[in-house]
Amino acid sequence: MDLSDMRLDYSEGELRRSSLRDDAWEQFALWFDQACEEDVHEPNAFSLATVSADSQPSLRTVLLKYFDQNGLVFFTNYESNKAMEIAANNKVSMLFPWLTLQRQVIIKGGAVKVSAAESLKYFLKRPKDSQLGAWISRQSSVISSRQVLESKLAEIKARFTKGDISLPPFWGGFRIEPQSFEFWQGGESRIHDRFLYTKDEAGSWGIERLSP
Ligand SMILES: Cc1cc2nc3c(=O)[nH]c(=O)nc-3n(C[C@H](O)[C@H](O)[C@H](O)COP(=O)(O)O)c2cc1C
C-alpha cells in the first residue's frame, strides 16, 4: 500500500453559513447528535491537547461525559501529566474526529476543576470496576510491571469489601469553558467548509468562514 496514493473524496455533506445555528453550543449539540445517530465509533472520544511549562504540546484521547452552556466535562486523575499541565497553564484544545461524517470539531478554551460534589455525582454512576480502577492508577507514573497494578487492585478490593467505594481525592472532572469552536466539513475537490465561532466579551458568538 502506497500511502501517498491514499485519499478519499469528501462528498458526505456541505456546510453553508445559512444553515449554521447562531449559537455555537446549538451547532455543537446538533453535530454531536448526528455523530451518535450515524454510529460514529465513540463519538464522545476527543483528543485533548495541553502544553507543558517548556512549551511542549501533548495529546491524548479522553471521553466527554456531558456538556451544556457552562462547558464540556471529562474525568481523569488529578496527578496525571495532563492535570499537572493544566494546573500550570489551563489553556487547552480539544478535537473530535468524526471522520465517518467527514467532519471535525476543534474547541479551544480554559479547563477548570469541577467541584468534588460534582465529581462524586459522576463517580457514583460508574461501574464498580471503573471506580476501583480510579483508585489503583497513579496515572502517568512509571511502573515496573503489570503485576504492580494487579496487586494494587487486590489491595483496593479488600479495602472496599463493604459499602460504597469512596471518591479518590486525586480523581475528578475538568470543565472546559470554550472561547472558540471550529466546525469543519469535508468538501469536493478539497474545497472544505470551515466556520469559526468566537465568543466576544459580552458572551455572544461571532462566526467567520475560514479558508480550507
Ligand atoms: C478511547 C480512549 C478513552 C480514554 N478516556 C480517558 C478518560 O476519559 N480519562 C482519562 O484520564 N484517560 C482516558 N484515556 C487514556 C488517556 O488517553 C491517557 O492515556 C491517560 O489519560 C494519561 O494521559 P496523560 O499521561 O497525558 O495525563 C482514554 C484513552 C482512550 C484510547
Number of domains in the chain: 1
Q: Among residues 69, 104, 36, 24, which one has the least CA distance to residue 175?
A: 69
C-alpha cell read off for 90: 489551563
Q: What is the DSSP string of 140-209?
A: T---S-HHHHHHHHHHHHHHTSSSPPPPPTTEEEEEEEEEEEEEEE--GGG--EEEEEEE-TTSPEEEEE
* DSSP 3-state of 43: coil
Q: Is residue 35 part of a domain?
A: yes
The residue to mutate among 46, 59, 62, 149, having the most atoms of ligand 1 within 8 angstroms of its beta carbon, is 62
Residue 98: inside a domain, yes or no? yes
Q: Please determine, for residue 185, whether its predicted confidence score (pLDDT) is greater than 90.
A: yes
Establish if 134 belongs to a structural domain.
no
Nearest residue CA, atom 5 of ligand 1? Answer: 62
Instruction: Identify the three-state secondary structure at position 104.
Output: strand
Pocket mutation for ligand 1, best pick of 60, 94, 130, 176 (most atoms within 8 Å of C-beta): 60
- DSSP annotation of 91 reads E
209 as an active site residue: the answer is no
Report in angstroms the alpha-carbon separations of 168 from 61, 64, 123, 134: 22, 20, 9, 7
Any domain includes 115: yes
Give a yes or no: residue 2 inside a domain.
no
How confident is the model at residue 39, as a pLDDT? 86
List the CATH number of the domain containing 114. 2.30.110.10
Average pLDDT over residues 191-211: 96
* Helix (H) or strand (E) segment spanning residue 107: strand 103-113
Give 13-56 pLDDT, tens digit per residue. Answer: 899 999 999 999 999 999 999 999 998 999 999 999 999 999 99
59 occurs within a structural domain: yes
Query: Does 52 contact ligand 1 (Cβ within 6 A)?
Result: no
Q: Which three cell numbers stand for residue 197?
A: 465561532
Q: Which pLDDT does position 147 carry in this prediction?
A: 93
The Cα–Cα gap between 201 and 198 comes to 10
> Which residue's C-alpha comes closest to atom 30 of ligand 1?
61
Among the listed residues 38, 58, 65, 49, the one whose alpha carbon sits nearest the alpha carbon of residue 106: 49
- Quote the pLDDT of residue 104: 98
pLDDT of residue 2: 93
**Residue 27 sits in which domain range?**
9-126+167-210
SS3 108: strand
Does 143 reside within a domain?
A: no
Of 5-14, 42-51, 72-81, least confident by mean pLDDT is 5-14
